[in-house]
């Protein structure tokens, strides 16, 4: 039994059904947010302060964050995550040819367009009743492992890394900086930074070696991605039923060479993050609470087994569990399911604190059940409609353009770390020479390059916080690399056997169909739910990792993951006057999720989103 | 060598001026040392492209639209000689660049910071009227298209070689 809160049970054959004797099984009573006491404290104008950071920098896109901080008790009393811009993709896609979704949804993000294209294709394939030949699936897997080899260094060294750099630590925790200067890095022989202070210096923006290497390293996987997908970040070659790229041994060789370039760097980078994180814990164990929240995570898995993936909903539990990243839900640190169908039945989206109309107001529900007869909530994405309702910002009422996706009415978070966690815990990944799921860890065997062969082992952590998110992301570099490596070898095998077909034919069906793309972005969970009729899209719903992580409070009173992480974060920075408070601990907590707001909510919205304030100067105009 | 490009997002009416004119620029006949390039992607990739390129450009001419409160359709040509902003601002531009924002402003600042921007940079710039979704220019901007193309051509041809 995987559900605690939803009124769904399963028979011995695994078929889902509604619990008997419940009159209106999905009904709930929204809880009111009470903040009178907080308002009174704020009005006293003492050490309780309103903190609004808008925009939150070093994240992708438009995120603002509001918090109420008790600077005396050094804790946060209230937290509100605010997606400031409306996303219109669901509205734009209505009425279009389903194939348009591949290219339009890709534009939801300027970093990870290919994951949206692929999720759209998987949704279409389910609806059309087609699936790619093995080499087509292998190519998708490979390209989207490469995509994350761009995404993770970008986050670790350009976006989150500066939070742990000399310039930030020295300014916000001078005593810690002094300690770092005299603390030897345990893995110095591997990464070549003698002290923790040397690591922190290497993370300095614009000048630190790790920052600059991270920037440089983003190029290598992007080159390989462009060879396979045609271009980055919005591929034109992902099509229903496979890929439109023609690949040869040379393409795989070119990819193989580039992967090699990244392996040595990854071997050095993982112990560097281990040293840095362990230093923070040793310096002050309170850092273990920074960004902490319950061990509740969700992932849909990705990287299909080319021999198993048939794109059907009927078989999604089987092909899902054969993925190189195992789908799963972690509740209180325990893996409660790896079955895509159970994961799908448990998803609901709520809008009580968002700028949207409740689509259930007319009492009509498009789908009562999934294609196998399992009960669907009226708040399930297949039933959801995107109905924007701009209104005044109110912390008690509505304050964001994001929605509140929940699983079994519990707050789960998404991320690359959820992917590695579910895979490590499940012991279901296909056999590989390079990766092994042990039930408590994922062992990644990095082959000999310039440096010797080395096994790195990501272990399911004892605590869950901002540091562990970053640590897991560093290990995911090795995970992505070895997945890509495995796919290159598979590609060689298929070509050797003459299995060079990359796509399959199809016709656009004219009757009503539904499909879902269960996939993953660099930041985790990605679902595209699709309803077609008469050859056009009737409904399209995208749930991204940042939709989940940046979500507001739900109707049950639970804060979203960023909000909860901030509420659990102690204020550990040094300051003597309130005006010196920087909020660095709060920002570390938020950034550890690797927020991607364009994916969350995105449409042209002026200078902060697509076109920023121009800095070019026409004062020297010549004509 | 002279580099020519038009920068902007697609389908944003007048704000797509650079992007739309780029396709006309690509079709025009140019001297052999002129390269017309689509640089409508994250400026970090452009910086890396400049860095890898075996040839170095003496000059770059960019076309784009920028709202500065002038009369819509105002067309200006100027040399970009701006000093770099402080480190924090450059860092912000890099963050935007790696997360997918397309911007001439970011392109210039980032490429200059990394020392790959051609020594001479000329901007051909139009004041937009319509900034929302759309595939067409406003009449004020549409009326200046030929002139803008001609200005780019003149800027390229008057480059000392």
Contact A110/B at CB under 8 A: yes
Q: What is the DSSP string of A217-253?
A: HTHHHHHHHHHHHSSSSS-S-EETTEE-----HHHHH
**pLDDT surpasses 60 at A610:** no
Query: Which pLDDT value is given to residue A57?
Result: 72
Closest residue by Cα to residue A546 from A536, A558, A560: A560
Integer Cα distance of A503 and A501 in angstroms: 6
In-domain check, residue A241: yes
C-beta atoms surrounding A391 within 10 Å: 12
C-beta atoms surrounding B126 within 10 Å: 28
| Residues A621, B45: C-beta atoms closer than 8 Å | no
Give the nearest partner residue to A610 out of B9, B77, B85, using CB atoms: B9
- The residue that leads in pLDDT, A233 or A268, is A268
Least reliable range by pLDDT among A49-53, A266-270, A447-451, B107-111: A49-53
Q: What is the DSSP string of A518-575?
A: EEEETTEEEEEEEEEETTEEEEEEEE-HHHHHT----TTSPPPHHHHHHHT----S--
- Measured between beta carbons, the chain A residues lying within 8 angstroms of B45 are 219, 222
Contact B126/A at CB under 8 A: no
Q: Is the ipTM of this complex over 0.95?
A: no
Contact A111/B at CB under 8 A: yes
| Percent of chain A at pLDDT exceeding 70 | 95
Contact A233/B at CB under 8 A: yes
| Residues B15, A611: C-beta atoms closer than 8 Å | yes
Integer Cα distance of A143 and A222 in angstroms: 9
Strand partners, B77: B124
In residues, how long is chain B? 161
| Residues B76, A206: C-beta atoms closer than 8 Å | no
In-domain check, residue A75: yes
Could you read off the pLDDT tens digit of each residue along chain B, which spans 161 residues?
A: 999 999 999 999 999 999 999 999 999 999 999 999 999 988 999 999 999 999 899 999 999 999 999 999 999 999 998 789 999 899 989 988 888 889 999 999 999 999 999 999 999 999 999 998 899 999 999 999 999 999 999 999 988 76
Contact A61/B at CB under 8 A: yes
Integer Cα distance of A36 and A128 in angstroms: 53
Integer Cα distance of A25 and A6 in angstroms: 8
Structure tokens belonging to residue A613: 């304030």
Contact B99/A at CB under 8 A: yes
Contact B104/A at CB under 8 A: yes
**pLDDT surpasses 80 at A606:** no
Give the nearest partner residue to B95 out of A158, A614, A615, using CB atoms: A158
Domain that holds residue A539: 50-310+319-372+414-574+585-590+597-612
pLDDT tens for A205-217 read: 999 999 999 999 9
Provide the shortest C-alpha distance from residue B42 to chain A (in Å).
8
Give, rounded to a whole angstrom, the gap between the first and last alpha carbons of chain B: 8
Select the residue from A222, A230, A618, A619 to test the B interface by mutation, using most B Cβ atoms within 10 A. Answer: A618
Contact A88/B at CB under 8 A: no
Contact B94/A at CB under 8 A: yes
pLDDT tens for A541-588 read: 999 999 999 999 999 999 999 999 999 999 999 998 888 899 999 999
Contact B105/A at CB under 8 A: yes
Integer Cα distance of A277 and A186 in angstroms: 12
Query: Which pLDDT value is given to residue A614?
Result: 38
Contact A53/B at CB under 8 A: no
Map out the domains of chain B as residue ranges.
Answer: 2-157
Integer Cα distance of A361 and B131 in angstroms: 35
Give the nearest partner residue to B91 out of A205, A610, A619, using CB atoms: A205
Query: Which pLDDT value is given to residue A604?
Result: 34
Give the 3-state secondary structure of residue A294. coil
Contact B125/A at CB under 8 A: yes
Closest-CA residue of B relative to A56 is B92
Give, in degrees to the nearest 5, the angle at Cα A210 between A267 and A154: 85
Integer Cα distance of B92 and B79 in angstroms: 24
Query: Which pLDDT value is given to residue A84?
Result: 85
Integer Cα distance of A276 and A474 in angstroms: 12
Select the residue from B43, B101, B122 to test the A interface by mutation, using most A Cβ atoms within 10 A. Answer: B101
**pLDDT surpasses 80 at A605:** no
Structure tokens belonging to residue B137: 């220019």
Closest residue by Cα to residue B132 from A606, A597, A598, A613: A606
How many domains are contained in chain A? 1
**pLDDT surpasses 90 at A233:** no
- Measured between beta carbons, the chain A residues lying within 8 angstroms of B80 are 616-617
Give the nearest partner residue to B76 out of A59, A159, A621, using CB atoms: A621
Provide the shortest C-alpha distance from residue A214 to chain B (in Å).
11
- Measured between beta carbons, the chain A residues lying within 8 angstroms of B77 are 621-623
Relative to beta strand A347-350, strand A404-407 is: antiparallel
Integer Cα distance of A436 and A428 in angstroms: 9
**pLDDT surpasses 70 at A144:** yes
H/E stretch holding A350: strand A347-350
Give the nearest partner residue to A615 out of B9, B78, B105, using CB atoms: B105
| Percent of chain A at pLDDT exceeding 90 | 79
CATH superfamily of B2-157: HybD-like (3.40.50.1450)
Average confidence (pLDDT) over A430-447 = 96
Integer Cα distance of A178 and A196 in angstroms: 10
Confidence of residue A64 (pLDDT cuts 50, 70, 90): confident
Give the 3-state secondary structure of residue B124. strand
Query: Which pLDDT value is given to residue A53?
Result: 83
Structure tokens belonging to residue B81: 């000689």
Contact A620/B at CB under 8 A: yes
Closest residue by Cα to residue A430 from A378, A490, A470, A387: A490
**What CATH number is given to the structural domain containing A267?**
1.10.645.10
Query: Which pLDDT value is given to residue A103?
Result: 92
**A233 preceded by a cis bond (ω within 30 of 0):** yes
- Measured between beta carbons, the chain B residues lying within 8 angstroms of A587 are none
Average confidence (pLDDT) over A69-95 = 90
Query: Which pLDDT value is given to residue A487?
Result: 97
Average confidence (pLDDT) over A225-251 = 90
Contact B153/A at CB under 8 A: no
| Residues B78, A58: C-beta atoms closer than 8 Å | no
φ/ψ bin of A241: left (φ > 0), alpha (ψ from -120 to 50), beta (otherwise)? left
- Measured between beta carbons, the chain B residues lying within 8 angstroms of A206 are 87, 90-91, 94, 113
Contact A92/B at CB under 8 A: no
A382: DSSP letter: T
- Measured between beta carbons, the chain B residues lying within 8 angstroms of A235 are none
pLDDT tens for A117-140 read: 999 999 999 999 999 999 999 999
Provide the shortest C-alpha distance from residue A213 to chain B (in Å).
13
| Residues A618, B90: C-beta atoms closer than 8 Å | no
Contact A614/B at CB under 8 A: yes
Strand partners, A409: none
In residues, how long is chain A? 623
Closest residue by Cα to residue A156 from A606, A591, A598: A591
Query: Which pLDDT value is given to residue A611?
Result: 32
| Residues B92, A57: C-beta atoms closer than 8 Å | yes
Start-end of H helices in A284-440? 316-321, 340-345, 416-426
Pairs across A and B, CB distance < 8 A: 103
**pLDDT surpasses 90 at A231:** no
pLDDT tens for B11-26 read: 999 999 999 999 999 9
Closest-CA residue of B relative to A605 is B132
* φ, ψ for residue B24, nearest 5 deg: -70, -40
Global pTM reads 0.92
Query: Which pLDDT value is given to residue A599?
Result: 53
Q: Which residue has the tokens 């045609």?
A: A230
- Measured between beta carbons, the chain A residues lying within 8 angstroms of B76 are 618, 621-623
Let me know: does A440 contact A424? Beta carbons within 8 Å. Answer: yes
Query: Which pLDDT value is given to residue A598?
Result: 56
């Amino acid at each position: 039994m995987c559900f605690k809160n939803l009124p769904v049970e399963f028979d011995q054959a695994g078929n889902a059904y509604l619990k008997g004797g419940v009159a209106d099984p999905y009904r709930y009573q929204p809880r009111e947010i009470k903040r009178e006491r907080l308002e009174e404290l704020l009005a006293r104008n003492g050490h309780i302060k309103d903190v609004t950071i808008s925009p939150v920098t070093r994240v992708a896109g438009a995120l603002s964050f509001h918090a109420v901080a008790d600077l005396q008790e050094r804790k946060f009393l209230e937290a509100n995550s605010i997606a400031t811009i409306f996303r219109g993709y669901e509205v734009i896609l209505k009425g279009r040819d389903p194939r348009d979704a591949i290219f339009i949804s890709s534009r939801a993000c300027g970093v990870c367009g290919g994951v949206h294209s692929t999720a759209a294709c998987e949704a279409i394939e389910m609806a059309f009743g087609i699936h790619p030949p093995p080499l087509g699936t292998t190519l998708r897997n490979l390209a989207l492992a490469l995509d994350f080899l761009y995404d993770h260094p970008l986050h670790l060294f350009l976006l989150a890394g500066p939070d742990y750099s000399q310039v930030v630590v020295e300014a916000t925790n001078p005593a810690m900086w002094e300690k770092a200067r005299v603390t030897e890095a345990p893995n110095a022989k591997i990464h070549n930074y003698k002290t923790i202070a040397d690591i922190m210096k290497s993370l300095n923006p614009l000048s630190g070696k790790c920052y600059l290497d991270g920037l440089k390293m983003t190029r290598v996987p992007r080159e390989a991605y462009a060879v396979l997908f045609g271009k980055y970040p919005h591929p034109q070659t992902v099509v229903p039923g496979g890929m439109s790229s023609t690949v040869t041994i040379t393409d795989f060789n070119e990819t193989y060479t580039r992967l090699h370039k990244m392996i040595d760097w990854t071997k050095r980078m993982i112990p560097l993050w281990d040293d840095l994180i362990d230093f923070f814990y040793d310096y002050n164990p309170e850092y273990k609470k920074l960004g902490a929240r319950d061990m509740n995570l969700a992932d849909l898995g990705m990287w299909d087994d080319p021999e198993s993936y048939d794109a059907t909903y009927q078989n999604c539990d089987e092909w899902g569990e054969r993925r190189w990243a195992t789908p799963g839900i972690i509740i209180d640190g325990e893996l409660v399911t790896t079955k895509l169908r159970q994961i799908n039945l448990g998803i609901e989206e709520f809008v009580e604190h968002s700028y949207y109309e409740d689509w259930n107001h007319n009492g009509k529900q498009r789908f009562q059940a999934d294609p196998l007869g399992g009960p669907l909530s009226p708040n399930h994405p297949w039933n959801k409609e995107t109905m924007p309702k701009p209104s005044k910002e109110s912390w008690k009422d509505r304050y964001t353009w994001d929605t509140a996706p929940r699983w079994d009415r519990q707050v789960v978070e998404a991320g690359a770390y959820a992917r590695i966690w579910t895979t490590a815990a499940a012991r279901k990944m296909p056999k590989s020479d390079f990766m092994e799921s042990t039930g408590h860890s994922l062992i990644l065997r990095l082959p000999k390059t310039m440096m010797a062969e080395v096994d790195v082992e990501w272990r399911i952590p004892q605590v869950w916080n901002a540091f562990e998110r970053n640590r897991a992301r560093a290990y995911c570099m090795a995970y992505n690399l070895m997945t890509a490596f495995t796919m290159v070898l598979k590609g060689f095998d298929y070509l050797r056997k003459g299995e060079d077909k990359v796509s399959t034919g199809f016709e656009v069906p004219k009757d009503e169909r539904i499909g879902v793309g269960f996939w993953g972005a660099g930041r985790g969970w990605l679902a595209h739910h699709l309803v077609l009729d008469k050859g056009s899209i009737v409904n399209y719903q995208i749930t991204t990792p940042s939709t989940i992580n940046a979500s507001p409070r739900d109707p049950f009173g639970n804060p979203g993951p960023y909000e909860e992480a901030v509420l659990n974060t102690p204020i550990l920075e040094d300051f003597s006057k309130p005006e010196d408070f920087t909020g660095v601990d709060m920002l570390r907590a938020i950034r550890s999720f690797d927020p991607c707001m364009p994916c969350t909510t995105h449409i042209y919205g002026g200078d902060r989103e697509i076109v920023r304030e121009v800095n070019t100067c026409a004062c020297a105009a010549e004509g | 060598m002279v580099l020519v490009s038009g920068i902007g997002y697609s389908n944003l009416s007048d704000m797509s001026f650079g992007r739309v004119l780029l396709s006309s620029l690509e079709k025009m006949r140019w001297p052999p040392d002129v390269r017309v390039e689509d640089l409508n992607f994250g400026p970090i990739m452009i910086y890396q492209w400049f860095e890898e390129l075996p040839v170095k450009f003496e000059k770059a001419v960019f076309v784009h639209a920028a709202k500065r409160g002038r009369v819509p359709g105002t067309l200006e040509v100027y040399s970009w000689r701006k000093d770099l902003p402080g480190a924090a601002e450059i860092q912000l531009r890099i963050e935007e660049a790696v997360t997918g924002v397309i911007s001439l402003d970011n392109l210039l600042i980032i490429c200059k910071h990394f020392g790959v921007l051609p020594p001479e940079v000329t901007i051909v710039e139009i004041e937009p009227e319509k900034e929302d979704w759309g595939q067409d220019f406003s009449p004020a901007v549409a009326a200046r298209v030929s002139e803008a193309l001609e200005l780019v051509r003149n800027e390229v041809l008057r480059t000392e070689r």
